[in-house]
Amino acid sequence: MNEWYKEDLAFIHDVGFRDFALKSAPGILKILAENKINDGLVARRLS
């Protein structure tokens, strides 16, 4: 894969999926809390 393509692909991915990820975080945190998963890499990153 060309170097320039990597940067373009990362930009497109960020623009295309950023809102989905940000809007999903509260629901994921709720599911984790309901299952008493209050610690760990994912829980810390989302909160």
**22-46 core/surface letters (b: 16 or more CB in 10 A; e: else):** eeeeeeebeebeeeeeeeeeeeeee
SS3 for 13? Answer: helix
pLDDT for res 25: 87
Give the span between the Cα atoms of 26 and 36, in whole angstroms: 15
Q: What is the pTM of this model?
A: 0.58
Structure confidence by residue, pLDDT tens digits, 2-26: 666 677 888 888 899 999 989 998 9
Helices (H), the chain: 3-34, 41-46
Distance CA 34, CA 20 (A): 22
